[in-house]
Amino acid sequence: EIVLTQSPGTLSLSPRERASLSCRASQSVSANFLAWYQQKPGQAPRLLIYGASDRATGIPDRFSGSGSGTDFTLTISRLEPEDFAVYYCQQYGLSPWTFGQGTKVEIK
Amino acid sequence: QVQLQESGPGLVKPSETLSLTCTVSGGSIGGYYWSWIRQPPGRGLEWIGWIGYIHDSEKTENSPSLKNRVTTSLDTSKNQFSLKLRSVTAADTAVYYCARGQSFFDYWGQGIVVAVAS
């Protein structure tokens, strides 16, 4: 199965700063079938990005995804207070679908 | 707006079967794929499996790590889908989510906490 490694484990930033989250796959993710989710405490994950770079419905344009092959990035251009959360990447190019271990974005 | 709601017991004894149902409202279950995902306490997400009723045919796939213990089913008349996980252990303690999608997941239930303990 494809192992996804997210880094850093925790990102300490201030509101209005830019966040870059990395997701590295143990083998190439076919057709860039990679998604990103945001999860806040006590809530279900929320789909942000699919197909590595396509924003899901209703997601603000400060969220963007990029990358291909084995290296993917989620960028939040300017952090809003509601963006402090845990972010997961997920690949769906090769079954079984797998998730990264998550990156926590916390207020500095 | 599609909404999903998990239901089932919050406590299951070791070696017994965990049974959960997801009720879908705001849209038909037919023509879409539906999934189960779980999250052990303080940990990340694990995909369990997907099921769909597409072109008058039921299709399903489950994670190999759970494959022999998992059964999923659909009831289009009730707009529900279900999960059964047999021979549970403490390692199956988790928040269980149902979600819409075969590959990535755009609508999620709120999750249900299931503890495995005697």
User: B40 — contact with chain A (CB < 8 Å)?
Assistant: no
* Strands A103-107 and A10-13, sheet pairing: parallel
Q: Nearest CA to CA, how far is A71 from chain B (Å)?
A: 18
pLDDT band at residue A99 under the 50/70/90 scheme:
very high
**Which of A108, A54, A103, A40 minimizes the C-alpha distance to A79?**
A108
Give the nearest partner residue to A97 out of B47, B106, B109, using CB atoms: B47
Mean pLDDT value across residues B7-16: 97
Given this model, what pLDDT does residue B55 score? 83
Cα-based distances in Å from A99 to A76, B25, B100, B104: 20, 27, 17, 11
B83-105: pLDDT as tens digits: 999 999 999 999 999 999 999 99
Identify any residues that bridge with A34 across adjacent strands, giving them in sequence order: A91
Least CA distance to B67: which residue of chain A? Answer: A96
Chain B residues with CB-CB distance to A99 below 8 A: 44-47
A61-96: pLDDT as tens digits: 999 999 999 999 999 999 999 999 999 999 999 999
Residue B11 has pLDDT above 90, yes or no: yes
Q: Nearest CA to CA, how far is B36 from chain A (Å)?
A: 12
Least CA distance to A56: which residue of chain B? Answer: B106
pLDDT band at residue A23 under the 50/70/90 scheme:
very high
Q: Nearest CA to CA, how far is A99 from chain B (Å)?
A: 6
SS3 percent helix, strand, coil of chain A, rounded to 5, is 5, 50, 45
Given this model, what pLDDT does residue B67 score? 66
Chain A residues with CB-CB distance to B61 below 8 A: 95
User: B61 — contact with chain A (CB < 8 Å)?
Assistant: yes
Amino acid at B80: Q
**Reduced to 3 states, what is the DSSP secondary structure of residue A79?**
coil
B39-83: pLDDT as tens digits: 999 999 999 999 998 888 889 999 999 868 999 999 999 999 999
Percentage of chain A surpassing pLDDT 90? 100
Given this model, what pLDDT does residue B57 score? 86
